[in-house]
Amino acid sequence: MTPPTALTIAGSDSGGGAGIQADLRTFFAHGVHGLVALTAVTVQNSLGVQGFTEIPADVVTAQIKAVASDMGVNAAKTGMLATAEIIRAVAKTLDEVEVGPLVVDPVAASMTGHALLREDALEAIRTELFPRATLITPNLDEVGLLTGISVSDPASQRAAAEALLEFGSRWVLVKGGHMTGSTCVDLLTDGREYVSLSGPRFETDNTHGGGDTMASAITSSLAKGASVPDAVAAGKKFIERCVAESYPLGAGVGPVSPFWVLPDRR
């Protein structure tokens, strides 16, 4: 039987733990066929991002059109988009083809603080992509850059979510991975419904690719027809296991792992 399809519009991580590599292994773990529009090639390992080069915007557009016109896209997500030109091209293309629900992960920097967007491109994500998004999934650094709000507790997390909704997405998920405490609390809202997703914080430094894995897990469930609250709840459970089973690789930050879905890992 042909599985559902999900499209990732994102960059490559040579270290294999984030970017399209995280997306494809997450789609695979969900039994979803992954489609790719590559936006950039990063030179990256567990210690950080050494540099990147972007793909020409017309090639990004052509990749999206090629798969959408022939194979069909049940849901899509954006990750690293690199430049304002690529963001504008993606936004225009998404108006011309059918991709189902759209998850926009406003990736601005790697977890080691290296920029993955040129200059003011985050502003282009806000104005061009957020109004087209079913769901946006910023982490706390991105929330700060987008709203100026520094999230430190449930009240400021809610205020930030409400400020982000003003930018035009249907739903907002403010991820709490960067807060401190024994729990990791993410807040999902569409302005009417407020869902607080709380889980244990696992003691590990190996969280590379966590945001990408969370967003692509949500996209996988949306591709299968789940509602946004159900997809996010399933994504939260999925990423928890991936963080719990993350592994060291290289001298720096190791990746979260979806290998726990496999029946036999010897």
Alpha helix ranges (H) inside 151-244: 154-165, 210-223, 228-244
Question: Is position 207 an interface residue for ligand ATP (rule: CB under 6 A)?
Answer: yes
Task: Choose the contact partner of 11 out of ligand HMH, ligand ATP, none; CB within 5 to 8 A by kind.
Answer: ligand HMH
Binding marks (x or -) toward ligand ATP, 138..157, rule CB under 6 A?
-x------------------
- The single residue among 15, 106, 176, 258 that binds ligand ATP, judged by CB under 6 A, is 176
Question: Is position 111 an interface residue for ligand ATP (rule: CB under 6 A)?
Answer: yes
The span from the CA of 48 to the CA of 50, in Å, is: 6
Which residue shows structure tokens 């609390």?
A: 185
Question: Is position 110 an interface residue for ligand HMH (rule: CB under 6 A)?
Answer: yes
Task: Choose the contact partner of 169 out of ligand ATP, ligand HMH, none; CB within 5 to 8 A by kind.
Answer: none
Question: Is position 211 an interface residue for ligand HMH (rule: CB under 6 A)?
Answer: yes
Q: Is 134 helix (H, G, I), strand (E, B) or coil?
A: coil
Rounded (10°) angle between helices 210-223 and 19-29: 40
Question: Is position 122 an interface residue for ligand HMH (rule: CB under 6 A)?
Answer: no
Question: Is position 18 an interface residue for ligand HMH (rule: CB under 6 A)?
Answer: yes
| 102 touches 78 (CB < 8 A) | yes
The span from the CA of 29 to the CA of 20, in Å, is: 14
Give the range of 86-94, 114-122, 127-135, 202-210 binding ligand ATP by CB under 6 A.
202-210
Q: What is the DSSP string of 4-60?
A: PEEEEEEEEETTSSSHHHHHHHHHHHTT-EEEEEEEEEEEEETTEEEEEEEPPHHHH
Question: Is position 79 an interface residue for ligand HMH (rule: CB under 6 A)?
Answer: yes
* Residue 19 to residues 15, 110, 119, 124, 255, Cα–Cα distance (Å): 10, 10, 20, 20, 11
Residues 39-78 that bind ligand ATP (CB under 6 A): none
Question: Is position 209 an interface residue for ligand HMH (rule: CB under 6 A)?
Answer: yes
Give the range of 7-15, 55-63, 126-134, 173-181 binding ligand HMH by CB under 6 A.
7-15
For ligand ATP, the closer of residues 50 and 183 by Cβ is 183
Task: Choose the contact partner of 34 out of ligand HMH, ligand ATP, none; CB within 5 to 8 A by kind.
Answer: none
Instruction: Report the C-alpha dihedral over residues 101, 106, 107, 112, rounded to 10 degrees.
Output: -130
The CA R_g of the chain, rounded to the nearest whole Å, is 17
The span from the CA of 222 to the CA of 164, in Å, is: 21
Give the range of 57-65, 146-154, 183-191, 208-216 binding ligand HMH by CB under 6 A.
208-216
Residues near ligand HMH (CB under 6 A)? 10-13, 18-19, 42, 44, 79-80, 107, 110, 116, 209, 211-212
